[in-house]
Amino acid sequence: MNFDEIIERRGTHSAKWDAMETVYGVSPEDGLPMWVADMDFKPPQVVQDALARMLDHGIYGYFGGDAEYKDAIRWWMQNRHGWEVDPAHIFTTHGLVNGTGLCVQAFTEPGDGVVLFSPVYHAFARVIRSAGREVVECPLTESNGRMVMDFAAYDAQMSGREKMLILCSPHNPGGQVWTPEELRGVAEFAKRHDLVLVSDEIHHDLVMPGHKHTVMPLAAPEVSDRLVMMTAASKTFNIAGAHTGNVIIADPVLREKFASVMNGLGISANSFGLAMITAAYSPEGAAWVDALVEYLDENRKIMEQGIAAIPGAKVIPLQATYLVWGDFTDTGMEVEELHRRVQETARIAANHGESFGMGGERFLRFNVATPRARVVEAVARLQAAFSDLQ
Ligand SMILES: Cc1ncc(COP(=O)(O)O)c(C=O)c1O
C-alpha cells in the first residue's frame, strides 16, 4: 500500500492521461490530469492475485456461476454499510452509466422527465437526453457550507411528466454525504410525485473520517417498492476499466421490468470484473480501503487549503469522494479566463463545472487520487497561475 509510488500511466490507453491533450489541450508531457474519476493507484494485492490466477489458467471463456460474487457483495454491504442485500436482487451491469441507461429504458418512456439535483455527475444528463427523455434540473443551493435541497421549490417545478429521479449519494460533485433526514426528504419527494428513485451510491466507500454514509434502504425503508440501488467496486478499488456495476432492486415489479431490458440488450457479466470484485470485497480489500481513505483525506486537505488561499476561491471540505470542488466565483473571472489560467498556465486538466449542469458554471473539479507529490505540485501551480490576485 504505497500510495506515494509514481506509476507511469502515459501510453497505457488511460483516458485520464492519454486523452487530456485532446480534451483540455494540456500535454501529458508536463501536465497534471485531475479530471476523470479514476485513481493513479494499483488496487490491493488480493485483486492483482485474482487476475494473476486467471492469466495463469489462460482460458477466457464465457462466465458461469455468480453465487460467490453475489455473496461477496452481500458480505461487503453487510460489513461496511450495515445493509442486508438479497443476492437474488442483484443485476450485474457493465458499470453504472450502463446501469443508468438501463433504468431510463426500463422505467421511463420517450418524452418523460427524469429529475436530477444539479450540479450532478454529468453522464446522467447525457444518458437521459440521448434516450429522448427530458432532464428536469432541480438546483441545489449552498447554505452554511452545505448543499441543500429546496423541496417546496421542486414541488412547484414538477409538471406531472416526471417518472424517475436519480440521486447521487454521496454527491458528486462536492462530495457531500447526505444525512438520513435529507435522504428521507428525497424519498418523500419521490413518493409525492410517484417517481422511481434511483440511488447511485458508487462513491459510498470513499467517505472521509468523521462522516458516515447511510444507504437509502436504511434511511427510507418505506420506499423499497420504488427504489433502485446502484453500487459498484469500481471507484473504491480503482477498477473502472473492468466495467462492472450492480443494480439492486428489491421490488419484484421493478425487477421484472429491469430484467426484461437487460435481456433484450443481451447484457451479461464480464468475468474479469467479477473475479476482481469477488477478491476485493474481502477483509484484505477492506483494510486497503481504510488506508486509502486516510491517504485521500490528507490529499484533499492539501488541495482544499491550496485553493482557499487563492483570493476569491473557496471550497466546501469534501466529506466523500476524491473530487475537490473548487468555487472560483468570487475571483470575478470569466469562465474562459479561469480555464485559460488552469489549463494553459498551471497545465492542469480539471473538469469544467458547467458540465455538471446548472450552478456549476464557475467551479472546477480536481481529482486528488494521485500520489501526494502531484497534489502539492498542483497547488503550487494553481497559486502561481493566480498570483496576480494576491
Ligand atoms: C456518480 C457516478 N456514477 C457513475 C459513475 C461511472 O460509473 P461506471 O464507470 O460504472 O459507468 C461515476 C464516475 O465518476 C460517478 O461519479
Q: Which atom of ligand 1 is nearest to the CA of 36?
A: 14
CA–centroid distance, 32 to ligand 1, in Å, is 21
C-alpha separations of 243 from 29, 41, 229, 273, 274 in Å: 28, 17, 17, 7, 10
Backbone angles phi, psi at 93, to 5 degrees: -110, 180
**pLDDT value of position 266:** 95
Q: Which atom of ligand 1 is nearest to the CA of 234?
A: 10
Q: How confident is the model at residue 1 (pLDDT cuts 50, 70, 90)?
A: confident
Tell me: the pLDDT tens digits for 142-190? 998 899 999 999 999 999 999 999 999 999 999 999 999 999 999 999 9
Q: How confident is the model at residue 248 (pLDDT cuts 50, 70, 90)?
A: very high
Reply yes or no on whether the pLDDT at 362 is more than 90: yes
Q: Is the pTM of this model over 0.95?
A: yes
Say if CB 317 and CB 335 are below 8 A apart. no
Give the contacts of 62 (CB within 8 A, at least 6 positions apart). Answer: 268, 271
Reply yes or no on whether the pLDDT at 390 is more than 90: no
For the chain, helix (H) and strand (E) counts, in that order, are 15, 14
Backbone angles phi, psi at 138, to 5 degrees: -100, 110
What does pLDDT average to over the chain?
97
In angstroms, the CA 134 to CA 152 distance is 21
Three-state DSSP class for 329?
Answer: helix
Q: Which amino acid is at 132?
A: G
Reply yes or no on whether the pLDDT at 75 is more than 90: yes
CB under 6 Å to ligand 1: residues? 37, 95-98, 121, 168, 172, 200, 202, 232, 234, 240, 245
User: What sign for the dihedral angle of Cα 37, 309, 175, 117?
Assistant: negative
Three-state DSSP class for 378?
Answer: helix
Say if CB 161 and CB 111 are below 8 A apart. yes
Q: Where are the beta strands (DSSP E) in the chain?
A: 32-34, 90-93, 113-118, 134-139, 141-143, 146-148, 162-168, 196-200, 227-231, 245-249, 314-315, 323-327, 348-352, 363-367
Tell me: the pLDDT tens digits for 77-105? 999 999 999 999 999 999 999 999 999 99
Give the contacts of 30 (CB within 8 A, at least 6 positions apart). Answer: 347
Of the residues 34, 128, 172, 216, which should be mutated to test ligand 1's pocket, given the most ligand atoms within 8 Å of the CB? 172
How many alpha carbons fall within 13 Å on the CB side of residue 20? 26
Which residue has the least CA distance to atom 13 on ligand 1? 37
Q: How confident is the model at residue 59 (pLDDT cuts 50, 70, 90)?
A: very high
CA–centroid distance, 179 to ligand 1, in Å, is 21
Reply yes or no on whether the pLDDT at 318 is more than 90: yes
In angstroms, the CA 324 to CA 315 distance is 8
Percent of residues, the chain, with pLDDT higher than 70:
100
Q: Where are the alpha helices (DSSP H) in 108-251?
A: 122-130, 151-157, 180-192, 216-219, 234-237
